[in-house]
Structure 1
Amino acid sequence: MIGFLEIRRRRLQFFLIGLIVTLISYLVLMINGLGVGLNEQAGRALRNFDADALAYSDRAGLSVIRSELSSEAVERIAAESGAREWAPLGYMAVNYTREDGSVKSAAVLGFDPGTIAEPPVTGGRGLGAGDANGVLADRQFLRASGLKVGDTVTFSVRLQERQFTIVGEINEGAFFFQPSVYLLRSSWRELKYGPDAAEAPVASVVLLKGDGLAGKRGSGWEAVSKSTAFANIEGVSGQQSTVQALRAFGYLIGGLVIGVFFYVLTIQKTPQIGVLKAVGASTAFVFRQLLIQALLVALGGVVVAVPLAWLTNRAIQQVPDPVPIAFTTGTFVTTSLLLLVMAVVGALFSGRQVAKVDPIIALGQQQ
């Protein structure tokens, strides 16, 4: 094929074009990875709840922070929702001090053992009814704090401090952009409202499991799906809009850069295209060679950019406070396919120029 032969003969030129395409592909992949990572930081723990819907106080505006439910409200939700299984869950933010002396925040989730709110344990042991001073720590929390199973951690809330022992490790992810820790709901209630708050709320939300629960409402409560609950986490909608805009600009710029490169190459090759047409090559044949070149360059850039982005992510995850970048197989596949499509779109800019080449004029320019 003529397109392959030209790439072999003009290695340096196509290498430089491929390098630019690789860098653009890498940039778009990292932007997409940032979008996935920010979503995970915002609420992977919420997405991992063993539930089909979440019930909030109807005065909270679907905010876990502002939602507070009394024991009577929890009982009404269980009775009125028709859920197959249900479990109250409490949320609050606390501060803790890392080994280096810096103060960080964590998301504390209070649950009842044996319910759908209990997270699966990946290391150590689970919490029992008597573990009032025990917690299950997410691996992200352990990495950030420098602690391990068996260590103690001190949580600060307002003017009080309380020590807990890490009895187990979980892998539920972050909640509200904070690493998560789970403790007994009774301990959560005491930590948040104080030991003498007999009339204090008993939960922030209620996890519901069953069919057709999203959209149900009752006396003082409303239920939504997990996806709706995630979308209503403070800051998520603005963050997603920003990442989507960056992603769109990345694809647009990538397509334009590839298109400009091959448009310039096409102009430079006008005399050669004229010779091909003079000996009987059709416009479609010539354009097909250009399209093959564009796809090869884009494919080479993606093949290099994907492992480079993966290795970058692995390196970033080794630091105590990693940039929230994460990749899934879908992220790599979707991004690679879209970049190849943009390469084809960019190469289409050259199609009109190829069609306009007149063999007689082109041969005259070559003399």
Structure 2
Amino acid sequence: MKLAVIKESRAGENRVALSPTVAAALIKAGHEVYLESGAGLGSAFPDSAYQAVGVKIGSKADALSQCDMLTHVNPPTADEVGELRNGTSLMSFVYPDLNPGILDALKAKNIAVFAMEAVPRISRAQSMDALSSQANLAGYKAVILGAENLTKIFPLMMTAAGTVTPGRVLIFGAGVAGLQAIATAKRLGAVVEVSDVRPETKEQVESLGGKFIEVKADNAVQVEGGYAKDVSAEFLQKQKEAVEKSLFNADLVITTALVRGGKAPVLISEEQVAKMKFGSVVVDMAVEQGGNCAMSKSGETVEVNGVRIIGALNLPSSLATNASELYAKNIQNLFNQLTNENGLAFDMEDEITAGCLLCGGPIAAGS
């Protein structure tokens, strides 16, 4: 098959869909890879690194017009879809609920769309799980970003001039991003407390050295695909009460809580922000889905009563080399799963194929 890699059109995006290492592996397996010149520069992958492994370098138009599959990080633009041949395929994050127009354009050209965010969260698909690979890096970066914005250090220090007490970090959400944030903050010497609506995450939190804040509630929280679902107002109120002491004592607060297919829950109210420590920092990782902090602004840093609130967008892009390496491996593993010697297999009996194929192929044929 012929695979294309083009520059990402999203503002501030530094990632690229295929790294030179993965491109080399695909070429060795008998495929061809076409790259828009300069597509890898944001990830510190020059054209020469791709040329050295046999990638064909050219214009965006060349790559799109010749490919059987476009590999991408973000959803392509309408213009990019227009340049693809009918009946080709796309492998990228798609988020159709947020990009309905793009999905319609892809359907109109009978393009088989494999959505990276729709890869099932099952054991045998872990190597293809781009949501997790990128969230892992985002959790790390959130702690680093928070530390940079604080006016104090994380670790306990005992010096001749006196003792410096350790920084206190509160993390909402113990998913992939939250767990990495715990590990990173602990390595930097902070005291870490964690709140999650799923009581079964307590063991994971404690294994990383965090303190789990338990919420006593009568009704259990439903979980779907690793995400909390249908969190009741009663539960959120009890969670609010349980974490307030920790929230008001925290130096850094990181929020990661998402609800799949819906708006992120507000976990920190305007009234609570007013009671937080002067000089404390909030890194809201859910701001693209509405935010976990009522005062967050997407892509902006605001200060309210001495509290710095960072609406963190696309943190993996700030670690583009590693993010692209991991994403490219996710792409490679999914591609290998979906193809055989004749090309795309479209095995709709397979849970992975059925889960991530949004349109095109057998779906377009009505099977």
Name the TM-score class by shorter chain.
under 0.3
- Structure ID, larger Rg: 1
Higher helix share: 1
Give the TM-score normalised by the residue count of structure 2.
0.27
Give the TM-score normalised by the residue count of structure 1.
0.27
Q: With CA pairs under 8 Å and 6+ residues apart, which has the higher RCO, 1 or 2?
A: 1
